[in-house]
Structures are given as C-alpha cells and as structure tokens.
Amino acid sequence: MHGVEFEAGTVFAGYRIDRLLGRGGMGTVYLAAHPRLPRRVALKLLNRELSSDHEVRGRFEREADVSAHLDHPAIVSVLDRGVEDGLMWISMQYVDGTDASVFRREPLNPARAVSIIAQTAEALDYAHDRGVLHRDVKPANILLAPTRSGDRAVLTDFGIARLRGDARQLTRTGAFLATLAYASPEQLSGAPVDHRSDQYSLACTLFTLLTGESPFPADNPGAVVAAHLTKPVPRASAVINALPSAIDGVIARAMAKDPAERFDSCEEFARAAMAALTVANVERPGVEFGGAASGFAEALRPSAQAPANFEASASNPTLVSSPSSYSAPRPVTHDGGRRVPLGREQAEQRSQRAVSSRWRVLAVSLLVLAMVAGVGVVGVGAIYWKFLRPNRVPPPPTWGAHGSVAAGFTDLIPSGPTGRGWRGASCSATPSLVVLPGDPAPLRQITCTDADGLVAWYTEFPNAADADAYLLRHTTEDSTRELHHTSLAAYRPRDPAAPFTLAARERGNVFSEDSVVEVAWPGRSFEETRDNWWQLAPF
C-alpha cells in the first residue's frame, strides 16, 4: 500500500482525523483535531514503506528539528512529533487556505504577487540569519491564507533544509529533491550553496506568479537544467505585456548565474521588485495594478526601458538597476555601493576573460547528451563548471567544513574567517586538536580572540552525548539563564589549573546541540567571566 490511509474519525497518536489534505512521494498530510486543545492541526505521516530508509527518515526528522527552532509568523510552526504503530509523524500549524501553485497558468496581479514574495523573503532572511537554507523554495511551498488586508503567506516544507556548511547528506544518492523548475545553477551543478540560492528560487517563483509559467518551461529535465545553467533570464514583460520592463532587470539580477551578482538578501530583492512596480506607476500616473493581467495589458506597457539607475527616495529606499539592452546588458562595477558602467578598456578585459562561444556550444551539447544518457542532474555539473562558467573574482573565504560550528553561534562567530565576531573578535579554524586520554574526540573547532585578550573555543563533537560527557568529566554546572526557547548553562572547571575559565552549553538549540564553548580570560575569575561575558553573550 502506498502511503497511509485513514478514514475520517480515526484516532491516531491522540489526534482525530478529519480529512485528507494532500499526498506526496514521502508522506501523507491530514487535517486533524488536537487531542487536548480546541484547534486543528496538519498531521504529516511518513509513508510506511519509507520508514526503513535512513536518508528519508533523516529528512523527515530534520524538517521537525529545523522548523521547531524557527519562530517566525511566516514560517509554519511544528507543534509535536513522534512514532505511533511504526509510523513517524509530525503535527504542524494548519494554514486554512491554499498554496501559491494554484496560480499556475493564471498570472497574478503584480502587486499581489510581489506582496506574497515580500512576506516569503522576510521568512527566508530570518532563516538565513540563523544559518538555515531552505533549498526548495517554490510556489507549492508557500501557503496562502486569506485575511482582511490580503494574502498571508507562510513558508513550509523544510524537509531538505540544512545548515550552511553542514555536509551531512539528506538527499537520496543520485537524486535531486529540489524541484528543477526553481533550482539554482549551483544546486544543479553540485557546487556549494548559500542564502543566495534560495533567492534565485524565490525569483523563479515571482516569475511564475507574474506570468503563470516557470522561467524555463520544458518537458525534458535535461533542457531545464541546461536552461538554468546557460540561458539568459527570460523577460516577464515579454510574456505579460502589462508588466513594467523594470521588473525584468530585478528578476534578472536575482537569477544571475553567478551568486555574487545577486542581491545581498531576499528582502532587498523584494524591495527592488516593489520599486519596479512604483516606476511603472510614476511613468503612467493614474494607472494602478488593480485588475487581472488582461485588464491592464496595453495601458501599462512602457514606451521605453526603465532608466539604468532609479534613484532611491524616502518612499522607495532601494536602487533598481535595469539593463539598457536586456539581451546584452552593459557591464557594471561597484563604486562604494553605487553601480556604475565599466569603461571600454575594462569591458574588453572582462570580455577577454570570458569562455569562447565555441566551447559554450560544445558544453551545452554535452549537457543535453549527458542527461539523455542518464548521467544525472548533479553529474552534469562538471561540464558546466569546466566549460561554461566564466572567470570571476573569487568569493570571500568561508568556513568550509567548519561552517557547521559557525552556524550554531551566528551572533558570536562571523560569517567568514575575514570578518569580526562579537566584541570585535578575530576568529579562525583551529588547525589541530589535542584530545586528552578518555575524552570524546571532537570533530572541529573555531577559536576567537577579542581585544581584551579573551579567548573562546567553539568545539563541535560528533553528538550531544559526547558534548555532555566532556563537560561531566571536566566541569560542574554553576548557573543557568533562560533564552528564547532555549537555556544556557555556565560550567565551572573542576581543575583550578584548567586552561579555560568558564564553559558554556546551550540546550534546546538544534544548531549548537553538539557543541561546547570554553572561555579563557587571563586575570579574570570564573565569577567575573560569568558576569561580564557569559551573562551578556548573544547566544
């Protein structure tokens, strides 16, 4: 039997089943009544035949772990989870409405579409600030509930989300769980991804909401992959004449093949999209985006492209850069945050560094042939990175394998080794670790030193039990302070001659549950370190 079949009125794990909400490849979702509260929940059950698949179970568990620690009104809340009769289940907030995929082939009013994207962008930036990448942003994962003021958008399905720098594989070997129509080039090529990958997918979603179709519609998966990797971003205004041309430049930037050329955040992208609609209203005063796509077609068709630089104003605090020729945008560079055109000599130098078109044609052919031959989505990435990807300035250094450590302490450790942490601390990956006999072996460590000479070691162990075992052997618990949904404990070293003054451990945080923080503050006692560092530290 595929999936789980429950009749209305069935009681499972204390929840009374009301009706089926949906069914997917991994599980089944029911509307159910909470066993103790007068509320309805979405009860998600993992298909029984997949319960023995460790990778699928890991994805299902990760969805609960990640979502439970993201407390945001635009992210679906996880209420509880468990195992009943051999079935894994999660109870989640029920959003009484639909999802954005219902607008497929039905262009939305532009203002409504951008409002949905803006709410989702805020949720994504919130997750990104806490080290979580969604990795499967698409219309079907944006739930919409009607309110008096319009749509309330809620982001769901963190099943393949992961922490930045987390190398644990939660997708099937050789498979690609993110929907191809909305996947970023770096996801398709198997390259490292960061928050800008979610921005690319969000831009694809905006294109779909505005036009009713995905940016690169095709029946052949190989053609979709090749389009994401090599084809220019399509113009939404070419599909829906009523759309202002300024929106094309915004989407093109958010969907740039090179992540470094995208917006710094999803919210910045959303603000730029809003400003693009404002440009159209300024150019055509008195005309509003109030009707269906067919109702404002020719009236809003701009007579010329939007200006290359739309200056920010108090009501539109953003800069929208729109290419003067969409098919051949003028090269630009940055001057103190201002985008300015490159000179002819600079442009020629950049052009000389580009890969020749002959190799590009060959590479695209290889991509399609590889897909037909069954190489797989991720496997074709080598062709792209070898032949198609243009030379560019290397991105700022990241933590690499130590990213999982930094992700657990985002307000204490900078996003990369060249940044500054809390109290202006400089941080670096510890090159080698010394393990005392009988101690659990740690995986990795980041060391930070601030201007007062305080040294903090952030050490990640294989699991939470090893972290507890280390603390039990070397410390005694002294104090606890409550944080938002978590608690932070301070530990006093058992040995007065220990190399650390104080140790700290946050409980209830899935991102740092395997880590221990040790602090050495020369000339300061445990009490001084506790009162002047531990009590104030932004865990």
Catalytic residues: 136
Give the other-Cβ count within 10 Å of 364's Cβ: 19
Sequence-ordered strand ranges (E) for 415-514: 426-429, 444-449, 455-460, 475-482, 487-493, 502-507
CA 485 to centroid of chain Cα atoms: 22
Composition of the chain by helix, strand, coil, percent to 5: 35, 20, 45
| Total number of residues shown for the chain | 539
Q: Are 300 and 287 in contact (CB under 8 A)?
A: yes
Instruction: Provide the H-helix boundaries in 331-447.
Output: 344-353, 357-373, 381-383, 403-407
Q: Are 422 and 532 in contact (CB under 8 A)?
A: no
Which residues have a Cβ under 8 Å from the Cβ of 42 and sit 6 or more positions away? 21, 29, 30, 31, 32, 76, 91, 92, 93, 94, 95
Distance CA 27, CA 536 (A): 43
Radius of gyration of the chain from its Cα atoms, rounded to whole angstroms: 26
CA 144 to centroid of chain Cα atoms: 20
Distance CA 127, CA 131 (A): 6
DSSP string of 238-275? HHSTTS-THHHHHHHHHT-SSGGGS-SSHHHHHHHHHH
> Which three-class secondary structure state does DSSP give residue 28?
strand
Placement of tokens 């109030």 in the chain: 290
Q: For 94, phi and psi rounded to 5 degrees?
A: -95, 125
Distance CA 239, CA 218 (A): 16
Q: Are 487 and 506 in contact (CB under 8 A)?
A: yes
Distance CA 285, CA 290 (A): 14
Distance CA 342, CA 322 (A): 15
* Maximum distance among all Cα pairs of the chain, rounded to whole angstroms: 79
Residue 231 tokens, joined: 């084809």
Helix (H) or strand (E) holding 67: helix 54-68
Identity (one letter) of the amino acid at 145? A
